[in-house]
Amino acid sequence: MKKFSVKALVSIGMLSSISYVLMLLNFPVPPFPNFLMVDFSDIPALIAALIFGPAAGVLVELFKNIMDYFMTGSATGVPVGHIANFVAGILFVLPAYYIYTKLKTSKGMTLALVIATVVMSIVMSVLNYYVIMPAYTLFLNMPAMAAPELKTMIVTGILPFNIFKGLLISLVFMLLFSRMSTWISRQQYKSESI
């Protein structure tokens, strides 16, 4: 991790704050069950990554989840849900960042976000199957779900939800990016010149 300037440290803190506030403003989306909520907390992380580099994006995702854990706690003791959210966040932010830095156009950003959505949804489905769901059942001491049952739940529930959530975030981010791209590149230039 390269050394951050004081400005970068403070800005990452602020963006984490925004990310946490946006996480609180979450909402369910009609066709999906109520506990699958959409929020836009990944957008500040993406902006952090674009301006201060990939490590900043990871940090924003990290702080957002640590703060939420402090404020609400976790039923399983070990914060499985928060770790899952953190992993999903970086799986979305990092691919989007690396593809965008290769292409550097507005169209490239769209492509990057779509690919990031696909990467995030697929990897999260695999992780859900092998790690997250088993961890939940372990800590809740529930009888483990049968493999085919779990598979249908992931393929029909979690995978489409993650794709939908990713696309929704991408859409809002593109709306934002089309207006803020000059501002973002100016901030980038400023943070490099310090």
Closest CA to 75 of 141, 123, 6: 141
Could you say whether residue 9 binds another protein (CB under 8 A)?
yes
**Of 123 and 168, CB closest to another protein:** 168
From the CB of 111, what's the least distance to another protein, in Å? 20
Task: Confirm or reject binding of residue 70 to another protein (CB under 8 A).
Answer: yes
Stretch in the footprint of another protein (CB under 8 A) among 111-119, 127-135, 151-159, 178-186: 178-186
**Cα–Cα distance list, 169 to 9, 39, 40, 106, 192 (Å):** 25, 8, 6, 16, 27
Residue 11 CB coordination number (10 Å): 20
Query: Would you list the DSSP string of 32-87?
Result: S-TTSEE--THHHHHHHHHHH-HHHHHHHHHHHHHHHHHHH--TTSS-HHHHHHHH
* Number of residues located near another protein, criterion CB under 8 A: 49
| Minimum separation from the CB atom of position 123 to another protein (A) | 25
Told to check if 146 binds another protein by CB under 8 A, we report no
Q: Give backbone dihedrals phi and psi of 38, rounded to 5 degrees, phi first.
A: -100, 135
CA 179 vs CA 2, 7, 106: distances in Å: 29, 23, 11
Q: Fill in the per-residue mask, 19 to 38: x = in contact with another protein (CB under 8 A), - = not in contact.
A: -xx---x---x---------
Among 187, 189, 170, 22, which residue's Cα sits nearest to residue 96?
170
Judged by CB under 8 A, does residue 4 bind another protein? yes
Pick 13 or 192: Cβ nearer another protein: 13
- Of residues 79 through 138, those in contact with another protein by CB under 8 A are none
Minimal distance in Å, beta carbon 88 to another protein? 20
Selected from 28, 140, 156, 189, the binder of another protein by CB under 8 A is 140
Query: Which range binds another protein by CB under 8 A, 73-81, 87-95, 97-105, 149-157?
Result: 73-81
